[in-house]
Structure 1
Amino acid sequence: MQEKETGRVEAFSDGVFAVAITLLVLNIKVPGLLPDDKGLWAVLAREWSMYVAYITSFATIGIMWLNHHRILVHIRRTDTILILLNLLLLSIIVLIPVPTDLLAEYLVRPDMHVAAIIYSSMFFVMSCCFNFLWRYASHENRLLAKNVSPQAVAAINQQYLCGPLFYTVTFVVAWFNAPISILLNFILALFFAIPGPSLASFSGRMKREETVV
Protein backbone atom coordinates (compact mmCIF):
# COMPACT_ATOMS: atom_id res chain seq x y z
CA MET A 1 0.00 0.00 0.00
CA GLN A 2 1.39 3.39 -1.00
CA GLU A 3 1.87 5.84 1.87
CA LYS A 4 -0.45 8.84 1.83
CA GLU A 5 0.98 12.25 0.99
CA THR A 6 -1.15 13.92 3.66
CA GLY A 7 0.78 12.58 6.65
CA ARG A 8 2.49 15.87 7.52
CA VAL A 9 -0.74 17.82 7.04
CA GLU A 10 -2.56 15.47 9.41
CA ALA A 11 0.20 15.59 12.04
CA PHE A 12 0.42 19.39 11.99
CA SER A 13 -3.37 19.74 12.08
CA ASP A 14 -3.65 17.38 15.05
CA GLY A 15 -1.14 19.53 16.91
CA VAL A 16 -3.10 22.73 16.26
CA PHE A 17 -6.36 21.12 17.38
CA ALA A 18 -4.61 19.97 20.57
CA VAL A 19 -3.31 23.49 21.24
CA ALA A 20 -6.79 24.97 20.74
CA ILE A 21 -8.34 22.57 23.24
CA THR A 22 -5.51 23.23 25.71
CA LEU A 23 -6.13 26.99 25.46
CA LEU A 24 -9.78 26.36 26.31
CA VAL A 25 -8.75 24.74 29.58
CA LEU A 26 -6.48 27.65 30.43
CA ASN A 27 -9.52 29.95 30.30
CA ILE A 28 -11.08 28.12 33.25
CA LYS A 29 -10.43 30.20 36.35
CA VAL A 30 -10.09 28.62 39.78
CA PRO A 31 -11.49 30.80 42.60
CA GLY A 32 -9.05 32.01 45.21
CA LEU A 33 -9.15 31.06 48.88
CA LEU A 34 -12.41 31.98 50.58
CA PRO A 35 -12.86 33.06 54.20
CA ASP A 36 -15.39 30.27 54.62
CA ASP A 37 -14.95 27.10 52.54
CA LYS A 38 -18.69 26.46 52.84
CA GLY A 39 -19.22 29.12 50.22
CA LEU A 40 -17.11 27.37 47.57
CA TRP A 41 -20.07 25.61 45.95
CA ALA A 42 -21.86 28.92 45.57
CA VAL A 43 -18.79 30.54 44.00
CA LEU A 44 -18.38 27.65 41.56
CA ALA A 45 -22.07 27.75 40.66
CA ARG A 46 -21.81 31.44 39.81
CA GLU A 47 -19.25 30.54 37.14
CA TRP A 48 -21.80 28.51 35.15
CA SER A 49 -21.29 30.65 32.05
CA MET A 50 -17.63 29.63 31.98
CA TYR A 51 -18.58 25.93 32.01
CA VAL A 52 -21.22 26.40 29.30
CA ALA A 53 -18.75 28.20 27.03
CA TYR A 54 -16.05 25.60 27.65
CA ILE A 55 -18.29 22.58 27.00
CA THR A 56 -19.76 24.07 23.81
CA SER A 57 -16.37 25.05 22.40
CA PHE A 58 -14.73 21.76 23.40
CA ALA A 59 -17.51 19.81 21.69
CA THR A 60 -17.27 21.95 18.56
CA ILE A 61 -13.47 21.72 18.27
CA GLY A 62 -13.54 18.00 19.05
CA ILE A 63 -16.17 17.27 16.43
CA MET A 64 -14.39 19.49 13.91
CA TRP A 65 -11.24 17.43 14.50
CA LEU A 66 -13.27 14.26 13.96
CA ASN A 67 -14.65 15.52 10.65
CA HIS A 68 -11.24 16.84 9.62
CA HIS A 69 -9.92 13.32 10.12
CA ARG A 70 -12.82 11.89 8.12
CA ILE A 71 -12.13 13.98 5.03
CA LEU A 72 -8.38 13.35 5.18
CA VAL A 73 -9.19 9.63 4.97
CA HIS A 74 -10.44 10.35 1.45
CA ILE A 75 -7.72 12.83 0.44
CA ARG A 76 -4.67 11.07 -0.96
CA ARG A 77 -2.62 13.96 -2.36
CA THR A 78 -1.81 17.53 -1.35
CA ASP A 79 -0.89 20.71 -3.15
CA THR A 80 -0.10 24.28 -2.15
CA ILE A 81 -3.70 25.49 -2.31
CA LEU A 82 -4.94 22.62 -0.14
CA ILE A 83 -2.27 23.35 2.45
CA LEU A 84 -3.16 27.06 2.46
CA LEU A 85 -6.86 26.29 2.86
CA ASN A 86 -6.03 23.94 5.71
CA LEU A 87 -3.93 26.65 7.37
CA LEU A 88 -6.84 29.06 7.00
CA LEU A 89 -9.12 26.59 8.77
CA LEU A 90 -6.57 26.00 11.52
CA SER A 91 -6.14 29.75 12.06
CA ILE A 92 -9.84 29.92 12.94
CA ILE A 93 -9.72 26.79 15.10
CA VAL A 94 -6.88 28.07 17.27
CA LEU A 95 -8.70 31.42 17.66
CA ILE A 96 -11.86 29.87 19.13
CA PRO A 97 -10.63 30.16 22.77
CA VAL A 98 -10.80 33.97 22.43
CA PRO A 99 -14.57 34.28 21.75
CA THR A 100 -15.07 31.43 24.22
CA ASP A 101 -13.47 33.51 26.98
CA LEU A 102 -15.49 36.52 25.84
CA LEU A 103 -18.70 34.50 26.01
CA ALA A 104 -17.88 33.15 29.46
CA GLU A 105 -17.33 36.69 30.73
CA TYR A 106 -20.36 38.38 29.16
CA LEU A 107 -23.01 35.64 29.12
CA VAL A 108 -24.27 36.95 32.46
CA ARG A 109 -24.08 40.64 31.46
CA PRO A 110 -26.39 42.95 29.48
CA ASP A 111 -24.14 42.73 26.41
CA MET A 112 -24.40 38.95 26.26
CA HIS A 113 -25.90 39.08 22.76
CA VAL A 114 -22.76 40.80 21.43
CA ALA A 115 -20.57 38.01 22.81
CA ALA A 116 -22.95 35.39 21.41
CA ILE A 117 -22.91 37.07 17.98
CA ILE A 118 -19.10 37.04 17.87
CA TYR A 119 -19.07 33.44 19.12
CA SER A 120 -21.55 32.19 16.50
CA SER A 121 -19.91 34.17 13.70
CA MET A 122 -16.61 32.45 14.50
CA PHE A 123 -18.26 29.05 14.04
CA PHE A 124 -19.85 30.23 10.80
CA VAL A 125 -16.45 31.26 9.41
CA MET A 126 -14.98 27.96 10.60
CA SER A 127 -17.64 25.92 8.82
CA CYS A 128 -17.12 27.94 5.62
CA CYS A 129 -13.37 27.30 5.71
CA PHE A 130 -14.02 23.61 6.27
CA ASN A 131 -16.30 23.51 3.23
CA PHE A 132 -13.73 25.37 1.10
CA LEU A 133 -11.13 22.77 2.06
CA TRP A 134 -13.31 19.79 1.19
CA ARG A 135 -14.81 21.32 -1.97
CA TYR A 136 -11.38 22.13 -3.35
CA ALA A 137 -10.03 18.64 -2.67
CA SER A 138 -13.13 16.86 -3.97
CA HIS A 139 -13.84 18.93 -7.11
CA GLU A 140 -13.63 16.42 -9.97
CA ASN A 141 -11.80 14.14 -7.49
CA ARG A 142 -8.84 16.53 -7.73
CA LEU A 143 -6.96 15.22 -4.68
CA LEU A 144 -9.05 12.23 -3.66
CA ALA A 145 -8.31 8.53 -3.84
CA LYS A 146 -9.04 7.01 -7.24
CA ASN A 147 -11.76 4.72 -5.90
CA VAL A 148 -13.88 7.50 -4.40
CA SER A 149 -17.34 7.37 -5.95
CA PRO A 150 -19.25 10.50 -7.03
CA GLN A 151 -22.12 9.34 -4.82
CA ALA A 152 -19.87 9.39 -1.75
CA VAL A 153 -18.60 12.88 -2.59
CA ALA A 154 -22.16 14.14 -3.14
CA ALA A 155 -23.25 12.71 0.23
CA ILE A 156 -20.39 14.43 2.05
CA ASN A 157 -21.03 17.70 0.20
CA GLN A 158 -24.66 17.67 1.25
CA GLN A 159 -23.85 16.93 4.89
CA TYR A 160 -21.15 19.58 5.29
CA LEU A 161 -23.09 22.25 3.42
CA CYS A 162 -25.49 22.23 6.39
CA GLY A 163 -22.75 23.82 8.50
CA PRO A 164 -22.77 27.38 7.10
CA LEU A 165 -26.56 27.28 6.78
CA PHE A 166 -27.19 26.18 10.36
CA TYR A 167 -24.54 28.47 11.85
CA THR A 168 -26.20 31.36 10.03
CA VAL A 169 -29.31 30.50 12.03
CA THR A 170 -27.39 30.54 15.33
CA PHE A 171 -25.88 33.90 14.33
CA VAL A 172 -29.32 35.40 13.72
CA VAL A 173 -30.76 33.90 16.91
CA ALA A 174 -27.85 35.39 18.90
CA TRP A 175 -29.20 38.89 18.19
CA PHE A 176 -32.40 38.07 20.05
CA ASN A 177 -31.62 35.26 22.51
CA ALA A 178 -28.00 34.53 23.43
CA PRO A 179 -28.61 31.39 25.58
CA ILE A 180 -30.69 29.74 22.82
CA SER A 181 -27.99 30.45 20.24
CA ILE A 182 -25.38 28.79 22.47
CA LEU A 183 -27.64 25.77 22.91
CA LEU A 184 -28.06 25.55 19.13
CA ASN A 185 -24.29 25.67 18.67
CA PHE A 186 -23.92 22.73 21.05
CA ILE A 187 -26.65 20.76 19.27
CA LEU A 188 -24.91 21.39 15.94
CA ALA A 189 -21.70 19.93 17.35
CA LEU A 190 -23.59 16.76 18.25
CA PHE A 191 -25.23 16.71 14.80
CA PHE A 192 -21.91 16.77 12.98
CA ALA A 193 -20.61 13.95 15.18
CA ILE A 194 -22.93 11.59 13.32
CA PRO A 195 -21.59 10.50 9.91
CA GLY A 196 -24.01 10.13 7.03
CA PRO A 197 -24.78 6.55 5.90
CA SER A 198 -22.98 6.95 2.57
CA LEU A 199 -19.86 8.33 4.22
CA ALA A 200 -19.77 5.56 6.83
CA SER A 201 -20.25 2.77 4.27
CA PHE A 202 -17.63 4.25 1.95
CA SER A 203 -15.07 4.51 4.76
CA GLY A 204 -15.59 0.89 5.69
CA ARG A 205 -15.32 -0.24 2.06
CA MET A 206 -12.14 1.77 1.56
CA LYS A 207 -10.48 0.23 4.63
CA ARG A 208 -11.30 -3.28 3.40
CA GLU A 209 -9.74 -2.51 0.00
CA GLU A 210 -6.57 -1.19 1.64
CA THR A 211 -6.32 -4.33 3.75
CA VAL A 212 -6.47 -6.49 0.62
CA VAL A 213 -3.72 -4.42 -1.03
Structure 2
Amino acid sequence: MEKETVRIENFSDAVFAIAITLLVLDLRAPEADTIKNGSELLTFLKNQWTTYLAFTLSFFSIFIMWVNHHKIFKQIYSRNTAIMFANGLILFLVAAVSYPTALLARFFGGEAATIAVAVYTGMFVLINIAYNLLWWIASTNKKLLRPGITDRAIRKIRDNYAYGLPSYLIAFGISFSFPVTALTINMILLLFWAVSSGKINLQQE
Protein backbone atom coordinates (compact mmCIF):
# COMPACT_ATOMS: atom_id res chain seq x y z
CA MET A 1 0.00 0.00 0.00
CA GLU A 2 1.50 3.32 -1.07
CA LYS A 3 1.71 5.98 1.60
CA GLU A 4 -0.39 9.03 0.70
CA THR A 5 0.56 11.35 3.55
CA VAL A 6 4.08 12.39 2.49
CA ARG A 7 3.09 15.95 1.54
CA ILE A 8 1.14 16.37 4.79
CA GLU A 9 4.16 15.21 6.79
CA ASN A 10 6.61 17.44 4.91
CA PHE A 11 4.39 20.49 5.35
CA SER A 12 3.89 19.66 9.03
CA ASP A 13 7.65 19.32 9.59
CA ALA A 14 8.12 22.82 8.17
CA VAL A 15 5.48 24.29 10.49
CA PHE A 16 7.01 22.59 13.54
CA ALA A 17 10.43 23.97 12.57
CA ILE A 18 9.06 27.50 12.18
CA ALA A 19 7.20 27.25 15.51
CA ILE A 20 10.42 26.33 17.32
CA THR A 21 12.28 29.14 15.56
CA LEU A 22 9.67 31.70 16.66
CA LEU A 23 10.45 30.90 20.30
CA VAL A 24 13.97 32.28 19.90
CA LEU A 25 12.62 35.75 19.11
CA ASP A 26 11.82 36.31 22.77
CA LEU A 27 15.46 35.74 23.81
CA ARG A 28 16.92 39.22 23.67
CA ALA A 29 20.36 40.47 24.66
CA PRO A 30 20.53 43.85 26.44
CA GLU A 31 21.55 46.97 24.55
CA ALA A 32 25.28 47.62 24.87
CA ASP A 33 24.80 51.15 26.24
CA THR A 34 22.61 49.92 29.11
CA ILE A 35 25.23 47.60 30.58
CA LYS A 36 28.36 49.11 32.10
CA ASN A 37 30.08 46.07 33.58
CA GLY A 38 29.92 42.33 34.14
CA SER A 39 27.97 42.69 37.36
CA GLU A 40 25.14 44.54 35.60
CA LEU A 41 25.13 41.97 32.80
CA LEU A 42 24.90 39.15 35.33
CA THR A 43 22.00 40.91 37.05
CA PHE A 44 20.22 41.31 33.72
CA LEU A 45 20.69 37.62 32.91
CA LYS A 46 19.38 36.57 36.33
CA ASN A 47 16.29 38.72 35.85
CA GLN A 48 15.56 36.88 32.61
CA TRP A 49 15.02 33.51 34.31
CA THR A 50 11.32 33.39 33.37
CA THR A 51 12.27 33.84 29.72
CA TYR A 52 14.73 30.95 29.87
CA LEU A 53 12.14 28.78 31.64
CA ALA A 54 9.41 29.55 29.11
CA PHE A 55 11.73 29.00 26.15
CA THR A 56 13.04 25.68 27.45
CA LEU A 57 9.60 24.35 28.35
CA SER A 58 8.07 25.34 25.02
CA PHE A 59 11.03 24.17 22.94
CA PHE A 60 10.90 20.65 24.33
CA SER A 61 7.09 20.64 24.25
CA ILE A 62 7.10 21.39 20.52
CA PHE A 63 9.93 18.94 19.92
CA ILE A 64 8.07 16.12 21.68
CA MET A 65 4.88 17.05 19.83
CA TRP A 66 6.83 16.70 16.59
CA VAL A 67 8.13 13.27 17.66
CA ASN A 68 4.59 12.13 18.44
CA HIS A 69 3.28 13.64 15.20
CA HIS A 70 5.96 11.77 13.24
CA LYS A 71 5.15 8.48 14.94
CA ILE A 72 1.39 8.83 14.56
CA PHE A 73 1.80 9.41 10.82
CA LYS A 74 3.81 6.21 10.61
CA GLN A 75 0.45 4.58 11.38
CA ILE A 76 -1.61 6.75 9.00
CA TYR A 77 -1.10 5.73 5.35
CA SER A 78 -4.02 7.45 3.58
CA ARG A 79 -5.65 10.82 3.98
CA ASN A 80 -9.04 12.37 3.57
CA THR A 81 -10.33 15.90 4.03
CA ALA A 82 -11.09 15.37 7.73
CA ILE A 83 -7.53 14.19 8.45
CA MET A 84 -6.05 17.19 6.62
CA PHE A 85 -8.19 19.63 8.59
CA ALA A 86 -7.52 17.89 11.91
CA ASN A 87 -3.80 18.03 11.15
CA GLY A 88 -4.21 21.68 10.19
CA LEU A 89 -5.74 22.36 13.60
CA ILE A 90 -2.69 20.81 15.28
CA LEU A 91 -0.37 22.96 13.17
CA PHE A 92 -2.38 26.11 13.90
CA LEU A 93 -2.08 25.53 17.64
CA VAL A 94 1.61 24.58 17.44
CA ALA A 95 2.36 27.76 15.50
CA ALA A 96 0.54 29.78 18.19
CA VAL A 97 2.58 28.35 21.11
CA SER A 98 5.02 31.25 20.87
CA TYR A 99 2.35 33.69 22.13
CA PRO A 100 1.54 32.00 25.48
CA THR A 101 5.28 31.37 25.80
CA ALA A 102 5.88 35.13 25.59
CA LEU A 103 3.17 35.75 28.19
CA LEU A 104 4.75 33.18 30.49
CA ALA A 105 8.19 34.74 30.03
CA ARG A 106 6.96 38.24 30.87
CA PHE A 107 4.45 37.63 33.66
CA PHE A 108 5.26 34.33 35.42
CA GLY A 109 7.24 36.06 38.16
CA GLY A 110 4.59 38.70 38.91
CA GLU A 111 0.98 39.23 39.98
CA ALA A 112 -0.36 38.28 36.54
CA ALA A 113 1.22 34.81 36.74
CA THR A 114 -2.14 33.07 37.17
CA ILE A 115 -3.53 34.34 33.87
CA ALA A 116 -0.25 33.78 32.03
CA VAL A 117 -0.09 30.16 33.20
CA ALA A 118 -3.81 29.67 32.48
CA VAL A 119 -3.32 30.76 28.88
CA TYR A 120 -0.24 28.57 28.59
CA THR A 121 -1.83 25.43 30.05
CA GLY A 122 -5.04 26.12 28.14
CA MET A 123 -3.10 26.01 24.89
CA PHE A 124 -1.90 22.49 25.67
CA VAL A 125 -5.45 21.39 26.52
CA LEU A 126 -6.42 22.41 22.99
CA ILE A 127 -3.37 20.71 21.46
CA ASN A 128 -4.17 17.46 23.29
CA ILE A 129 -7.77 17.61 22.04
CA ALA A 130 -6.48 18.17 18.50
CA TYR A 131 -4.22 15.10 18.68
CA ASN A 132 -7.12 13.03 20.02
CA LEU A 133 -9.30 14.30 17.18
CA LEU A 134 -6.70 13.39 14.55
CA TRP A 135 -6.34 9.82 15.81
CA TRP A 136 -10.09 9.40 16.27
CA ILE A 137 -10.72 10.41 12.65
CA ALA A 138 -7.97 8.12 11.37
CA SER A 139 -8.84 5.12 13.53
CA THR A 140 -12.56 5.12 12.71
CA ASN A 141 -11.67 4.05 9.17
CA LYS A 142 -9.06 1.30 9.28
CA LYS A 143 -8.45 1.71 5.54
CA LEU A 144 -6.65 4.96 6.35
CA LEU A 145 -4.11 3.18 8.57
CA ARG A 146 -1.03 1.11 7.77
CA PRO A 147 -1.73 -2.41 6.55
CA GLY A 148 -1.82 -5.00 9.30
CA ILE A 149 -2.34 -2.67 12.25
CA THR A 150 -4.29 -4.46 14.97
CA ASP A 151 -7.26 -3.25 16.98
CA ARG A 152 -5.08 -3.58 20.07
CA ALA A 153 -2.53 -1.16 18.60
CA ILE A 154 -5.27 1.29 17.66
CA ARG A 155 -6.63 1.23 21.22
CA LYS A 156 -3.16 1.61 22.72
CA ILE A 157 -2.54 4.81 20.77
CA ARG A 158 -6.03 6.11 21.57
CA ASP A 159 -5.60 5.45 25.29
CA ASN A 160 -2.14 7.00 25.29
CA TYR A 161 -3.53 10.34 24.08
CA ALA A 162 -6.67 10.11 26.22
CA TYR A 163 -4.62 9.86 29.44
CA GLY A 164 -3.19 13.34 28.97
CA LEU A 165 -6.45 15.28 28.64
CA PRO A 166 -7.67 15.06 32.27
CA SER A 167 -4.21 16.06 33.53
CA TYR A 168 -4.07 19.08 31.24
CA LEU A 169 -7.56 20.09 32.35
CA ILE A 170 -6.50 19.81 36.00
CA ALA A 171 -3.43 21.96 35.31
CA PHE A 172 -5.60 24.55 33.57
CA GLY A 173 -8.17 24.54 36.39
CA ILE A 174 -5.69 25.06 39.23
CA SER A 175 -3.58 27.59 37.31
CA PHE A 176 -5.92 30.37 38.47
CA SER A 177 -4.96 29.69 42.09
CA PHE A 178 -1.71 27.73 42.01
CA PRO A 179 0.26 28.69 38.88
CA VAL A 180 3.52 27.05 40.00
CA THR A 181 1.76 23.73 40.61
CA ALA A 182 -0.04 23.97 37.27
CA LEU A 183 3.21 24.60 35.43
CA THR A 184 4.83 21.71 37.30
CA ILE A 185 2.06 19.41 36.06
CA ASN A 186 2.78 20.60 32.53
CA MET A 187 6.46 19.70 33.01
CA ILE A 188 5.53 16.23 34.30
CA LEU A 189 3.26 15.73 31.29
CA LEU A 190 6.18 16.72 29.07
CA LEU A 191 8.17 13.83 30.54
CA PHE A 192 5.16 11.55 30.15
CA TRP A 193 4.89 12.30 26.42
CA ALA A 194 8.62 11.83 25.98
CA VAL A 195 8.47 8.37 27.55
CA SER A 196 5.12 7.26 26.15
CA SER A 197 5.91 8.22 22.56
CA GLY A 198 7.40 4.74 22.24
CA LYS A 199 3.89 3.30 22.53
CA ILE A 200 3.05 4.84 19.18
CA ASN A 201 5.91 3.02 17.45
CA LEU A 202 3.90 -0.14 16.84
CA GLN A 203 5.22 -1.39 13.54
CA GLN A 204 5.24 -5.02 14.70
CA GLU A 205 1.84 -5.07 16.41
TM-score bin, normalised by smaller chain: over 0.9
Shift in alpha-carbon separation, 1:162–1:6, aligned structure 2, 3 A: same
Pairs within 5 Å for 1:18-167: 18-33=17-32, 34-167=35-168
Which residue is equivalent to 2:6? 7
Which residue is equivalent to 1:173? 174
Which shifted more, 107-116 or 175-184? 175-184
Runs of 4 or more above 6 Å deviation:
none
Q: Is the 8 A contact 2:132 2:161 kept in 1?
A: yes
d(CA) in 1 for partners of 2:197, 2:73: 16
Q: Is the 8 A contact 2:72 2:200 kept in 1?
A: no
Q: Is the 8 A contact 1:4 1:76 kept in 2?
A: yes
Which residue is equivalent to 1:209? none
Taking structure 1 as the reference length, the TM-score comes to 0.90
Q: What per-residue deviation string (whole Å, max 9, x for no partner) do you get for residues 8-39 of structure 1?
A: 00000000000000000111121222012222
Taking structure 2 as the reference length, the TM-score comes to 0.94
Q: Is the 8 A contact 1:96 1:122 kept in 2?
A: yes
d(CA) in 2 for partners of 1:107, 1:135: 35
* Structure 1 position 66, deviation (Å): 0.6
d(CA) in 1 for partners of 2:197, 2:156: 7
Which shifted more, 48-57 or 179-188? 179-188
Identity value in percent: 33
Which shifted more, 189-198 or 7-16? 189-198
Q: Is the 8 A contact 2:27 2:51 kept in 1?
A: yes
1:27 partner amino acid:
D
Q: Which runs of 5+ in 1 are unaligned?
A: 207-213
1:176 partner amino acid:
S
Q: Which runs of 5+ in 2 are unaligned?
A: none
Q: What per-residue deviation string (whole Å, max 9, x for no partner) do you get for residues 134-165 of structure 1?
A: 11001142410120000001111111101221
d(CA) in 2 for partners of 1:106, 1:142: 47
Alignment partner of 1:16 is 2:15:
yes
d(CA) in 1 for partners of 2:98, 2:199: 33
d(CA) in 2 for partners of 1:180, 1:40: 31
Aligned length: 203
Q: Is the 8 A contact 2:68 2:200 kept in 1?
A: no
2:24 partner amino acid:
V
d(CA) in 2 for partners of 1:27, 1:50: 7
* Structure 1 position 3, deviation (Å): 3.7
Q: Is the 8 A contact 1:89 1:126 kept in 2?
A: yes
Shift in alpha-carbon separation, 1:197–1:38, aligned structure 2, 3 A: closer
